[in-house]
Amino acid sequence: MSFSDLGLSDKVLGAIDAAGYKTPTPIQAQAIPHVLARRDVLGIAQTGTGKTAAFVLPMITMLEKGRARARMPRTLILEPTRELAAQVYESFEKYGKNTKLNVALLIGGVSFGDQDTKLVRGVDVLIATPGRLLDHSERGRLLLSGCELLIIDEADRMLDMGFIPDIERIGKLVPFTRQTLFFTATMPPEIQRIADNFLHNPVRVEVSKPATAATTITQLQVATGREDYEKRATLRHLIDSAEDFKNAIIFCNRKLEVAALHKSLVKHGYNAVALHGDLDQTTRTAALDAFRKGEAKLLIASDVAARGLDIPAVSHVFNYDVPHHPDDYVHRIGRTGRAGLTGTAISLVAPFDTKSVAAIEKLMGTTIPWMGEPVAAGEPGERPARQGERGRGGRSRQPRGQRPQESRPREPQQRREQASPRAEAPVPAPVRQRDPQPYRERAPRENVEPDTSHLPAFLLRPVNIKA
């Protein structure tokens, strides 16, 4: 089957030929005809299988006729992260170069004024993150009553990032008669319930089992120590000894770990860039561009880079931290082995990660082989404390025998014995005993006239209290 058999317009087919694509992927071959037929679609496919083109290509075909009005977009695409939104924007520029569609991008970190100017001119395709979209809508700068098509991309990621309340609010702003497309790589029960509320008699397009990785990815796990310096040494050894190594994405669970690992790798002479949610948009875009162009060989990132980013030539993925949610593992390793290429995904497993690894293997229905000896099982959820971190009661979480020495050295036993005898301690004052009898049973005190000689005269005047 070729793209010409899917019912796409001549302008779109010309852009596809110019991009060098000849045969559609399974998700594209099955989803595009249903989208062109104005059916609601629930698409489930592995990462790197061309889900973005599965809705971009038919959208351009449907939007060739007609024109958008000011502040009323014709179609809306919701993305969980700024990087994904920018990537979809680039897809419209590539496939829609033969058309005159107006495409706008509403993401954080960009001036409201520039975005509002594009909305005034009229937008055929609006690509946005939920937060910035609601900001424009609440300011009265955006009307969604003319939206004909709603696409929710990476729906499971929307759930993880807490966007579901925003998605439900946006769903009430668009017309009930719109066409809705859901695309995701994993399908947890929560997403299924939300899809049932948004979709009307949808066509389920499932080209692979949910929560599975591509067969072109070699998955491995290697044992490492508990401490950070041990994990960093293991990571450097894996990078230096990896076969067919070109570049790699290294995933951490927390933003602080991303910054600390990036600083450590740069200090050891590695060409690395960092990417996490606390960075400004300019820095995030520059880091991605440097990694795509090959200027940086390592990209240390949080789960911001785990969903949907299309960097086809990634040879390795390292899980510096094993993800807490098994679905995140599927998306992380999906950054390699894309578009038919081979890739390697290696997870650094500490003793406290055994429970998370077991959950991943249960979800995927397979066993991840070990490089070397397996790691010994630790306490479920146990994690060593960072240096200087304190536990309950303010005590340092350090094992016995490794406590820091006291600031003052203790006096020798002989010197303490020869010291002068201590002065006798003062006799403590007697403790006042509490009256065991209740207050109401105590004997009344004698009426003693108080001494008022020290009070001024105006305080001794009688006060008349009205009943």
pLDDT in tens, 298-348: 999 998 887 767 777 899 999 999 998 888 898 889 888 876 788 999 999
pLDDT band at 67 (very low <50, low <70, confident <90, very high): confident
What is the C-alpha to C-alpha distance for residues 11 and 97, in angstroms, rounded to an integer? Answer: 9
Residue 281 and residue 331 in one domain: yes
pLDDT band at 404 (very low <50, low <70, confident <90, very high): very low
Tell me: pLDDT of 405 over 60: no
pLDDT band at 59 (very low <50, low <70, confident <90, very high): very high
pLDDT for residue 388: 45
Residue 323 and residue 258 in one domain: yes
pLDDT band at 363 (very low <50, low <70, confident <90, very high): confident
Residue 234 token pair? 């293991």
pLDDT for residue 181: 94
pLDDT for residue 407: 42
Tell me: pLDDT of 104 over 70: yes
Residue 391 token pair? 């536990």
pLDDT band at 89 (very low <50, low <70, confident <90, very high): very high
pLDDT for residue 417: 47
Stronger pLDDT, 245 or 191, i.e. the higher one? 245
Among candidate residues 147, 168, 138, the one with its CA nearest the CA of residue 68: 147
Domain boundary among 382, 409, 425: 382
Residue 136 and residue 65 in one domain: yes
Stronger pLDDT, 420 or 200, i.e. the higher one? 200
Residue 257 and residue 298 in one domain: yes
pLDDT for residue 399: 46
What lies within 8 Å, CB to CB, of 34 at 6+ separation is: 41, 203, 205
Residue 30 token pair? 């099955």
What lies within 8 Å, CB to CB, of 417 at 6+ separation is: none
pLDDT for residue 118: 92
Length of the chain measured in residues: 467
Domain boundary among 347, 362, 382: 382
Please report whether residue 200 resides in a domain: yes
Q: What percent of the chain has pLDDT over 90?
A: 48
Among candidate residues 100, 79, 215, the one with its CA nearest the CA of residue 157: 79
pLDDT for residue 380: 45
pLDDT for residue 72: 94
Task: Read off the pLDDT of each residue in 381-407 and give the average, rounded to a whole number.
Answer: 45
What is the C-alpha to C-alpha distance for residues 68 and 437, in angstroms, rounded to an integer? Answer: 86
Please report whether residue 443 resides in a domain: no
pLDDT for residue 452: 74
Task: Read off the pLDDT of each residue in 387-402 and give the average, rounded to a whole number.
Answer: 45
Residue 53 and residue 146 in one domain: yes
Please report whether residue 182 resides in a domain: yes
Tell me: pLDDT of 10 over 90: yes
Please report whether residue 427 resides in a domain: no
Domain boundary among 328, 361, 382: 382
Please report whether residue 430 resides in a domain: no
Q: Which of 95-104, 221-230, 309-318, 373-382 has the lowest mean pLDDT?
A: 373-382
Please report whether residue 444 resides in a domain: no
pLDDT for residue 280: 86
Residue 67 and residue 127 in one domain: yes
Residue 96 token pair? 């829609």
pLDDT band at 212 (very low <50, low <70, confident <90, very high): low
Residue 324: give its domain's CATH number.
Answer: 3.40.50.300
Range of the domain at 245: 217-382
pTM above 0.75, yes or no: no
Q: Quote the distance between the C-alpha of residue 195 and its chain's center.
A: 21
Please report whether residue 166 resides in a domain: yes
Tell me: pLDDT of 185 over 90: no
Residue 221 and residue 195 in one domain: no
Residue 245 and residue 200 in one domain: no
pLDDT band at 379 (very low <50, low <70, confident <90, very high): very low
The mean pLDDT of the chain is 82
pLDDT band at 233 (very low <50, low <70, confident <90, very high): very high
Stronger pLDDT, 17 or 396, i.e. the higher one? 17
Please report whether residue 345 resides in a domain: yes
Within 10 A of 245 (CB to CB), how many other CB atoms are there? 14
Residue 190 token pair? 């929560």
What is the C-alpha to C-alpha distance for residues 229 and 222, in angstroms, rounded to an integer? Answer: 16
Tell me: pLDDT of 153 over 70: yes
How many distinct structural domains can be found in the chain? 2
Residue 150 token pair? 């709603």
381: left (phi over 0), alpha (psi -120 to 50) or beta: left
pLDDT tens digits for range 410-451 = 444 554 444 444 444 455 555 555 555 554 555 555 566 777
Which segments of 149-293 are extended strands (E)?
A: 149-153, 179-184, 203-206, 217-223, 248-251, 272-275
Contact 213, 368 (CB under 8 A): no
What lies within 8 Å, CB to CB, of 8 at 6+ separation is: 16, 32, 36, 57, 58, 61
Amino acid found at 12: V
Tell me: pLDDT of 466 over 60: yes
pLDDT for residue 125: 96
Residue 191 and residue 221 in one domain: no
Residue 140 and residue 247 in one domain: no
Residue 167 and residue 201 in one domain: yes
Tell me: pLDDT of 295 over 90: yes
Highest mean pLDDT of the ranges 42-46, 221-225, 279-283: 221-225
Q: What spatial distance separates the first Cα and last Cα of the chain, rounded to whole Å? A: 99
Highest mean pLDDT of the ranges 31-40, 64-73, 195-204, 275-284: 31-40
Within 10 A of 72 (CB to CB), how many other CB atoms are there? 16
What is the C-alpha to C-alpha distance for residues 272 and 260, in angstroms, rounded to an integer? Answer: 12
Q: Which of 171-175, 236-240, 428-432 has the lowest mean pLDDT?
A: 428-432
Tell me: pLDDT of 195 over 70: yes
Residue 153 and residue 244 in one domain: no
pLDDT for residue 415: 47
